[in-house]
Amino acid sequence: MSQSNANQQQANHQKANDQQTGQASEYHIASFVAQAPPQLVEALSHFVNSYQGCEVHGHSEQGKIVFTVEGSSQKAIAKIVDQIRLTDEFLSISPVYHQFLTEPQAPVTTEVN
């Protein structure tokens, strides 16, 4: 087994352990550029902003909309973007950037008196 395969297996194993034990939480953010008919940019920007975790950062008179989606997993982001894509008025949506952070969670303790 090559070193890169061994490293990938170890990372996958660690991720599975973290998910089972709840030792880490993930934070994902992805950015997108959407193309829409120019006359619908304002309405579609409001539509994107209506989703929890979504924020439109700008749009142009030519119909481009730049927005980000935040979520607890890549799957959560994909679900939101899929719902937005189903809007017939969008001509296209292209991913630009995706980043995730894994942060260890502090153990939960309770004090009994």
Residue-range domain boundaries for the chain: 25-102
Backbone region of residue 53 per phi and psi (left: phi > 0; alpha: psi in -120 to 50; beta: other values): left
Distance CA 54, CA 60 (A): 18
Q: Could you report the per-residue pLDDT of 60-71, keeping only the tens digit for each?
A: 999 999 999 999
Single pTM value for the model:
0.69
Q: How confident is the model at residue 90 (pLDDT cuts 50, 70, 90)?
A: very high
CATH T-level assignment (fold) for domain 25-102: Alpha-Beta Plaits (3.30.70)
Q: Could you report the per-residue pLDDT of 12-58, keeping only the tens digit for each?
A: 444 444 444 455 588 999 999 999 999 999 999 999 999 999 999 99
**Cα–Cα distances in Å, from 43 out to 15, 94, 95, 110?**
40, 19, 21, 48
